[in-house]
């Protein structure tokens, strides 16, 4: 579904070049849920922006399906850390916004909008304005908005990191349920190892300066998954421990 081939990114800045990514190769299968972890500044957001077509890589190319990505596309949706809802529009009108931007007929998507809002636990809030909602609810609306046009690919950049821990866990569990119904291919950036393991089929670990693909860790734990006590706790802690080790600053850096 997504192929990242030989992608490198160099930013030119006033203080010289920043090598954000180096020679990244990655394939994400259809309907796969991949999480992307790595220390701050290792290039996670940059990689996501390249996959989304918001920036062009210095080297290499990204394909979604058979097409090379050259600009943002309708079947690839992006969700960021902050909900970025328009404050003067109610929930339903915020959800319908991408359709306006894509020039699609909103009336054809009204049932879908209501269905997704219900799936996200937001039925009955259609007329509310963003400031009347909690942060978690705003992020639910934002998720529904990013799914409205039925994207094949959903790219998520730390979408829950501004929320409190409990809300965040709750949303992670619900996200799995919502996207299971949608059959969407997902790349999800997170700083949280727990979140990465809970959500992912595979966890991609990037190492910093320049960002390189350090390792891909499989998470062969059956779904639906939950946090807390469960039958796979041993497996989860084993994978989490491996990720903790991988994310340590290297022995050279520590010395």
Ligand X SMILES: Nc1ncnc2c1ncn2[C@@H]1O[C@H](COP(=O)(O)OP(=O)(O)OP(=O)(O)O)[C@@H](O)[C@H]1O
Answer yes or no: are the C-beta atoms of 95 and 116 closer than 8 Å.
yes
Q: What value does the CA radius of gyration of the chain take, rounded to a whole number of Å?
A: 19
CB-closest chain residue to Mg ion: 45
Kindly state the smallest distance separating residue 42's Cβ from ligand X, in Å. Answer: 4
Distance separating alpha carbons of residues 76 and 11, to the nearest angstrom:
24
Strand pairing report for 33-37 and 59-64: unpaired
Binding to ligand X by residue 38, rule CB under 6 A? yes
Question: Cα–Cα distance between 79 and 140 in angstroms, integer?
Answer: 11
Stretch that binds ligand X, among 38-46, 123-131, 160-168, 241-249 (CB under 6 A): 38-46
Distance of closest approach, residue 162 Cβ to ligand X, in angstroms:
12
The one among 24, 26, 37, 42 contacting ligand X by CB under 6 A: 42
79 is a contact residue toward ligand X (CB under 6 A): no
139 binds, among ligand X, Mg ion, none (CB under 5 to 8 A by kind): none
3 part of the interface to Mg ion, by CB under 5 A: no
Rounded to whole angstroms, the Cα distance separating 248 from 241 reads 11
Of the candidates 239, 255, 211, 223, the one whose C-alpha atom is nearest the C-alpha of residue 39 is: 211
Site string for Mg ion, 12-51 (x = CB under 5 A): ---------------------------------x------
Binding residues for Mg ion, how many (CB under 5 A)? 1
H/E run at residue 118: helix 110-119
Q: How far is the CB of 41 from ligand X (least distance, A)?
A: 4
| Both structure tokens of 38 | 């790595």
- CA–CA separation, 183 vs 57, rounded Å? 28
62 lies in the site for ligand X, by CB under 6 A = no
Binding test (CB under 6 A) with ligand X, winner from 40, 87, 111, 252: 40
Residues contributing to the site for ligand X (CB under 6 A): 11, 13, 18, 20, 38, 40-46
């Amino acid at each position: 579904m997504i192929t990242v081939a030989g992608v490198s990114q160099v930013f030119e800045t006033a203080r010289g070049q920043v090598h954000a990514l180096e020679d990244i190769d990655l394939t994400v299968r259809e309907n796969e849920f991949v999480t992307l972890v790595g220390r701050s500044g290792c290039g996670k957001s940059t990689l996501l922006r390249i996959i989304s077509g918001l920036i062009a890589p210095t080297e290499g190319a990204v394909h979604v399906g058979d097409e090379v990505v050259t600009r943002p596309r309708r079947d690839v949706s992006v969700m960021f850390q902050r909900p970025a809802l328009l404050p003067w529009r109610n929930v339903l009108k915020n959800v319908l916004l991408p359709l306006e931007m894509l020039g699609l007929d909103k009336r054809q998507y009204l049932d879908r909008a209501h269905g997704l809002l219900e799936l996200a636990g937001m039925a009955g809030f259609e007329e509310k304005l963003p400031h009347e909602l909690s942060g978690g609810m705003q992020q639910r609306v934002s998720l529904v908005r990013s799914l409205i046009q039925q994207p094949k690919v959903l790219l998520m950049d730390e979408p829950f990191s501004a929320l409190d821990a409990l809300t965040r866990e709750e949303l992670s569990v619900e996200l799995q349920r919502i996207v299971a119904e949608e059959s969407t291919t997902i790349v999800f950036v997170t700083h949280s190892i727990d979140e990465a393991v809970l959500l992912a089929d595979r966890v991609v670990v990037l190492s910093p300066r320049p960002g390189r693909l350090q390792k891909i860790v499989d998470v062969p734990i059956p779904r639906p998954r939950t946090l807390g006590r469960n039958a796979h706790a041993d497996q989860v802690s084993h994978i989490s421990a491996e990720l903790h080790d991988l994310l340590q600053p290297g022995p050279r850096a520590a010395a």
